[in-house]
């Protein structure tokens, strides 16, 4: 069903984004990965290129110029955009046992702004610039990432604020574009995941991105009656979350 379709995955050079990109590549979709890490971007692009047609774009999702250029480049190359996965984010990864982020009273405004503008701002900008392409064709899927975090111990506030905001953002955008036949949903990993760069102890203790299976592919095939909802991957299928 996804063969030949064009998929953009932000933050696609590593971690969950890399996993998502690979699952789309295995379906023979044309995969675009965008990331700020040029070295990992090229490495992942080479891997994807063994499975399908892949394009790597260096882009900072906080920059509207970067995002607009990314979309223009994809449309120029492929002529369409069918799926957007908004994965790019700054994540605390406290479950890895690494130093916690500061309390709000101790947090520098620059740090707060960087988290908010990457996670929430990047989701906004990429959605904004991809939507005209999808609406013109009256077809498309946008998949936003959700992640939780406990109220205690302290440190996850900035991250969780962005993710709760993305959940609300998804609900509203889903209604705005419902008549354009663009499906906007949230995908939730539900559990902490250890990816590249995690301490060895965390890699042994926590599941890797492969636990998400082909969840992103399934999310990109959801019908319009499910737009605005949140889903998680479980036992080979998507399960709606409250």
Q: Which positions are catalytic? A: 159
Question: 122 phi and psi, to 5 degrees?
Answer: -65, -40
Question: 233 phi and psi, to 5 degrees?
Answer: -95, 130
User: Which two tokens mark 119?
Assistant: 């996670």
**Closest CA relative to residue 156, chosen from 202, 208, 104:** 104
- Please, what is the angle between helix 122-137 and helix 64-78, to 10°? 30
How far separated are the first and last CA of the chain, in Å rounded? Answer: 28
Distance, CA of 181 to CA of 160 (rounded, Å): 30
Strands 83-86, 54-58: pairing kind: unpaired
54 sits in which H/E element: strand 54-58
What value, to the nearest 5°, has the Cα angle with vertex 50 and ends 143 and 61?
35
Contact 103, 149 (CB under 8 A): no
Contact 122, 169 (CB under 8 A): no
């Amino acid at each position: 069903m996804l063969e030949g379709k064009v998929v953009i995955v932000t933050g696609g050079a590593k971690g969950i984004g890399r996993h998502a990109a690979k699952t789309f590549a295995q379906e023979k979709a044309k995969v675009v990965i965008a990331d700020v890490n040029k070295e990992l971007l090229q490495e992942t692009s080479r891997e994807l290129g063994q499975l399908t047609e892949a394009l790597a774009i260096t882009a900072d999702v906080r920059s509207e110029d970067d995002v607009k250029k990314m979309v223009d480049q994809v449309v120029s190359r492929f002529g369409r955009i069918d799926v957007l996965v908004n994965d790019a984010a700054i994540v605390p990864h406290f479950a890895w046992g690494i130093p916690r982020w500061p309390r709000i009273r101790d947090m520098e405004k620059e740090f707060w702004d960087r988290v908010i503008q990457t996670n929430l701002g990047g989701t906004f900008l990429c959605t904004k610039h991809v939507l005209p392409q999808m609406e013109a064709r009256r077809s498309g899927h946008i998949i936003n990432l959700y992640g939780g975090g406990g109220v205690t111990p302290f440190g996850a506030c900035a991250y969780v604020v962005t993710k709760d905001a993305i959940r609300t953002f998804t609900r509203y955008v889903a209604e705005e574009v419902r008549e354009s036949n663009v499906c906007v949903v949230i995908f939730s990993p539900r559990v902490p995941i250890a990816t590249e760069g995690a301490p060895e102890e965390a890699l042994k203790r926590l599941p890797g991105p492969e636990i998400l299976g082909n969840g992103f592919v399934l999310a990109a095939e959801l019908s319009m009656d499910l737009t605005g909802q949140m889903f998680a991957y479980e036992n080979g299928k998507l399960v709606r979350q409250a």
